Amino acid sequence: MNEQRTNLTSRQRLHEYQAMLARRLQEARAKAATEGFLGVQIGEHHWLLSLTETGEVLDYQPPARVPLTQPWYLGLVNARGNLLGVIDFGLFCGEAPAAGGASTKIVVLSKDPQRACAIVVPRVAGLRSLSDLQPAEAPIDDREESRPWLGRAWRDVQGTLWRELDVRQLLADPAFLQVGRGRA
């Protein structure tokens, strides 16, 4: 009888321990998701894309052009049966067009298929965590007021300035949503 109680108690403890480990693992994943970023370089700027908002990273394929659209709207690609609008984010920001190369990727900006679009990324710099970055002062740009999607600034140990890209704000920005340019 004592042996049965010991086995029952041991199983209960093991079960409680496993439940605690599962809970801790889930908390760790949630914390990593809220603090995790995908680092990308577009032109001379380094951007942080939240892993909770960003979709997948795809190999580059030339988008099918769409007539009467903004120059920064590169066109459409088929990603697993879903059409994605592809944007040259550097050009949208008023910089030089993205130069395509062997390392060029397409990064999907939203996990929501109804709002999914993508940006061309010449260089994916890998995963970044806020624990590896220090808050920084970003140079003040006279266009910042019209860019609600421009997030916090950070510096890494090498001194590189990173800016968070608030994907939700970008996807709601009227300038970003206005891909058509009417008749020329």
pLDDT digits (tens, 9 = 90+) for 78-119: 998 889 999 999 999 999 888 778 889 999 998 777 788 999
What's the helix, strand, coil split of the chain in %, to 5? 30, 35, 40
Q: Which helix (H) or strand (E) segment is 11 a member of?
A: helix 2-35
Q: Which strands form 117-121's sheet, in the order they lie side by side? A: 57-59, 105-108, 117-121, 82-87, 73-79
Distance CA 120, CA 124 (A): 10
Which structural domain, as residue segments, surrounds residue 108? 2-27+36-177
Distance CA 17, CA 11 (A): 10
Residue 168 within any structural domain of the chain = yes
Residue 183 within any structural domain of the chain = no
Residue 143 within any structural domain of the chain = yes
CATH number for the domain that contains residue 172: 2.40.50.180
For 131-164, what is each residue's pLDDT tens digit?
999 999 877 666 666 789 999 999 999 999 999 9
Residue 92 within any structural domain of the chain = yes
From 36-40, 139-143, 175-179, the region with the lowest mean pLDDT: 139-143
Q: Among candidates 5, 114, 92, which has minimal Cα distance to 43?
A: 92
pLDDT (average), residues 60-83: 94
Contacts of 159 (CB under 8 A, 6+ apart): none
Local structure of residue 132 (DSSP, 8 states)? G
Residue 182 within any structural domain of the chain = no
Q: Exposed, middle or buried, 123 (CB in 10 Å: 0-12/13-18/19+)?
A: middle
pTM above 0.85, yes or no: no
**Which pLDDT value is given to residue 67?**
95
Residue 91 within any structural domain of the chain = yes
Domain count, the chain: 1
